Amino acid sequence: MKKYIKLLAFIFLILIINACKEDFLERAPDDQINESTLFTKWDKVNDYANRAYWDLRAYRDRGIVTLSHFSLSGITDECKGTKVQNGIPDLFNSGSFGPSTGMVKYGAEGIYWGDVYASVRLCNKFLEGVEKYKSPDNPLDPGDLQKRVAEIHFMRAYFHFLIFRFYGDIVYLDRVPGITESFQRMSWTEALPKFMADLDYAIENLPVRHKQIDFGRVEKGTAMALKAILLYINASPMYNGGKLPGNDTRVGKETYSTYNKEKWKLAADAAKALMDLKDEAGAPRYTLYTGQGSAWQAESGNKVYARLKQLYIDFESIKNEYIFILARNKPEAWQRDHLPPSKTGASRLQPLQEQVDEYEFIGNDGYGYPIYDPQAAAKGYDDKNPYVNRDPRLYSDVMYHGCTYQNSVINTETGNDKIGANNATSTGYYLRKFYHEDWKVSGSWSLHFPIIRLPEIQLIYCEAMNRYYGPSADINTVLNNLRSRSFMAPVPPGLNEEELHKYIQRERRVELFYENKRYFYSRWNLEPTSETELAREQEWNTSANPSLPYPRTQKVVHGMKPVIDPTGKISVGSTKYRMERFKLEDRVFTDKNYFWPLTTTDLANDPGLIQNPNW
C-alpha cells in the first residue's frame, strides 16, 4: 500500500508542475508582472520555481525525444534513425547541418544556445527576486522556501550544463543581464568554479530525501551526482591534456593542454561521496535495483530477465536508483514508433552492430569477454551464431533475428520484419530497452526517463580510481556488483590499467545504452580522433580482413543479416540461418563535430561571441 501512496504522490507532483505551467501560460510575461506581487506571495513564488521543472521537461532535456522526435542515440554508433519527421539523425550523420542550415530548420527546437539561456534567465530572475523582496516561506510547511532556492541553484547549474555539453565554452550567467549587454565566452577553467558554487549551495541546503508529496524534486544527491559528472569531464582528455583536432579556437585551450592526474582524484572523490550518501535512517540513499530475483518474463522462449525490465518500471527502482528523472517522458503508445512492423511498429531507431558488439560473451570459464577478444572465440563464441551466452542486457535491450517477443519469433530475413521492408529495420535489429513486454496500443503506462542513474556515477568512480591509482579490488567489486545485478559474469582477474579501462568503457556503453550518454562520453574522451581509433580506421580502409572491433571514429556503421544456410546454427521455423555482417552506411565526422555551432542568429544577437572550433 505504501508503494502506491508514494507513486500517487509522485504523479501528483507532476500534475502540480503541469498545472503551474498552464497557469503561467495565461499570464503576462515576467517583465510585465508586478514584481512585488510575484515575489511577496508564497504560492506565486512556488509556482515560479516550478516553471524551471517544466522548462526542463518540456523543452530543454526531453529525454527519449531530445533530438526532435529522436533520441541522441541516432547520431551515435548506437542506433540508425529512419527518415520520418525530416530524418533529423541523417542531417547530423551526413554533415547536412550548420549555423544556418538543417540544424536550425529542423533540429531539436528548444535545446539550442539561446533557448536554454532563456531558462537560465528564469532561474536568475527567481533568485534575485526572492532576495530583493525577502519572499515569504510556506506558512504551512516552513523551510520550503530554502528548498526552492536551493533547487533553483541546481537548476541554474544544470541548464548551463545542457548548453556546455553541446557547445563547450559557455557564458555562465549568475545574474539577470541588461538587455543590451554583450558577452564573451568563458573558459571551462573559469566556468567550473561557478558550477561548483551553485552545486555546493544546493548540496548544503537540500534534503537527502524529500517528503512523499515532493518526490521527483531535486535532492542533495542530485546535485552531488552532477558535481561528479562535471569533475569527470574536467579530468577527461577534452579538458585534461588531450588535443582537439583542427583549429582549436576555444577560449581556454591553453589551460586544457596540460595533463593533471589530480583531476581524476577529484572526480573519484565526488563520485564516492554520492555513493556513500546516507539517508536519515543511516541507510544508503541510492542503491542498485535488485528486485524480481532471477525470474524470467512470462512468455514462451523469452530470454529476458524480469529484473531488467522492472528496472525501468518498478517504483522501488525509480525511488532508489534514479538520481534525476524526467517523469512521464513518453506514453506507452510511443513504443509503436520503434517496434517491428509485425507488432504494428515503425522501427524509428534501430540498434547498430557497433552497439551489439559491446555486449560481452560469457566464456566457459565464467568470465565476460568482448566478442572481438581472441579469448572469446577460444571459450566458445561463434560470430555465425552470435546471440548465444551473451550479456543478458543484450536480450533486454535489442530484438534480433531468432529472438522471441510477445510469443512470436522475430525474422529479419523474410516477412514484414525483414531487413529493408516497409517500416522495417535496416540494421537487422529492433529496439527493446524500456519497453513493456506486454505493450498494448491502448495502454496507459508512461516511461519515466532516467537523466542520471546510480550506475553512471559508479562507472565514473571506477574509471577515475583506475586512472589515479590503477586497478584494485575495490574497483572490481563496484564493477562486478553492477554486472551481477544484471546477471552478467564478472570481469576476468589480473587486468592491467588499460585493459580495465576498456572494460569500464564497455560497461558504460551497455548499461547506459539509449540513455543519451554515448554522444557526450565519446566526445569528452576525444575518442573519434584518438590515435587508437584512427589507426583502426586505417586498418579497415586498407586491409582485406580487418579485425574487430569496428573503428569508433563515427564515420561508418554496420548491421547483421541472416543468410539461409542448411548448416546454419540459428533456426527460425524450419529454416536454418547463419549471420553475416554488412556495411550499412558512411557517416560524416570531422574536426568540427565535437561541438554544435552557434547559429547565425546567436552570433548576430551578440557580436561578442565567437564561433565554435572549425566551424
Q: What is the model's pLDDT at position 298?
A: 59
Question: What is the percent of the chain with per-residue pLDDT over 70, rounded to a whole number?
Answer: 92
Per-residue pLDDT at 286 exceeds 60: yes
Q: Residue 302 carries which side chain, given as an amino acid letter? A: N
Per-residue pLDDT at 106 exceeds 80: no
Most distant CA atoms of the chain, gap in Å = 80
Mean of pLDDT values over 431-443: 81
Query: Over the chain, what is the mean pLDDT?
Result: 91
- How many CA atoms does the CB half-sphere of 61 hold within 13 Å? 24
Q: What is the model's pLDDT at position 41?
A: 95
Per-residue pLDDT at 83 exceeds 60: yes
Q: What is the CA radius of gyration of the chain?
A: 24
Give the least confident one: 436-440, 547-551, 600-604.
Answer: 436-440
Q: What is the model's pLDDT at position 3?
A: 47
| DSSP alpha helix (H) spans, 26-112 | 35-38, 42-55, 88-93, 102-106
Question: What is the percent of the chain with per-residue pLDDT over 90, rounded to a whole number?
Answer: 78
Q: What is the model's pLDDT at position 159?
A: 98
Mean of pLDDT values over 577-586: 97
Per-residue pLDDT at 2 exceeds 50: no
User: What is the rounded distance in angstroms from the CA atom of residue 568 to the CA atom of residue 221?
Assistant: 51
Q: What is the model's pLDDT at position 16?
A: 44
User: What is the rounded distance in angstroms from the CA atom of residue 211 to the CA atom of residue 376?
Assistant: 49
* Buried-state track 29-40, b at ≥16 Cβ within 10 A, e below 16: ebeeeeeeebbe
Q: What is the model's pLDDT at position 407?
A: 87
Quote the cell numbers at residue 211.
517528503
Q: What is the model's pLDDT at position 33?
A: 60
The pLDDT tens digits of the residues spanning 191-232 come to: 999 999 999 999 999 999 998 889 889 999 999 999 999 999
Which is it for the CA torsion 187, 189, 193, 196, positive or negative? positive
Phi/psi for 150 (5° steps) reads: -65, -40
Q: What is the model's pLDDT at position 559?
A: 98
The pLDDT tens digits of the residues spanning 140-178 come to: 999 999 999 999 999 999 999 999 999 999 999 999 998
Give the least confident one: 179-183, 242-246, 592-596.
Answer: 179-183
Q: What is the model's pLDDT at position 31?
A: 47
Q: What is the model's pLDDT at position 439?
A: 74
Mean of pLDDT values over 226-251: 97
Q: What is the model's pLDDT at position 29?
A: 45
The pLDDT tens digits of the residues spanning 32-79 come to: 468 888 999 999 999 999 999 999 998 999 899 998 889 999 999 999
Per-residue pLDDT at 25 exceeds 90: no
Mean of pLDDT values over 541-558: 96
Which residues are within 8 A (CB) of 542 and not within 5 positions of it... i.e. 6 or more apart?
A: none
Reported pTM: 0.94
Per-residue pLDDT at 446 exceeds 50: yes
Q: What is the model's pLDDT at position 438?
A: 78
Q: What is the model's pLDDT at position 334?
A: 82
Q: Using the structure block, give the residue that is written with the C-alpha cell 582549436.
A: 248
Please give the CATH number for the structural domain made up of 2-238: 1.25.40.390
Q: What is the DSSP string of 521-590?
A: HHHHTTGGGSHHHHHHHHHHHH-SSPPSSPP-SSSEEEEEEEEE-TT-SEEETTEEEEEEEEEEEE----
Q: What is the model's pLDDT at position 299?
A: 62
What pLDDT band is residue 541 in, cutting at 50, 70 and 90?
Answer: very high
User: What is the rounded distance in angstroms from the CA atom of residue 301 to the CA atom of residue 158?
Assistant: 44
Mean of pLDDT values over 99-123: 79
Q: What is the model's pLDDT at position 100?
A: 81
